[in-house]
A and B are shown apart, each in its own frame.
Chain A
Amino acid sequence: MNQNILDPTEFIDRATTLMKSSYVFTRRIISALYFSLFNYWAYKTFHDQGIKGKGPNHDKFDHKDFSRTLIENNLGPQIVLLYKYRVLVDHYLLDPNIIEVWDKEVAKIIREDKIKVNINESILEKIINSAKEILNWLKYNY
Chain B
Amino acid sequence: MTFARISSFNRTALKAALASAVVLGSTGLVGTAHAANDSTNATATVMAPITIVKATDLAFGKFSALTGGTIKVDTDNGISVTGGVLKGTGSTGTAARFNLTGDTNNSYSISYSGAGNTALTHTDNSTTMALAKVSALTAASGTTGLLSVGALSAGVGSIYVGGTLTVATGQLPGVYSGSITVTVDYN
Q: Do A and B come from one complex?
A: no
Q: Which residues of B contact A (CB under 8 A)?
A: none
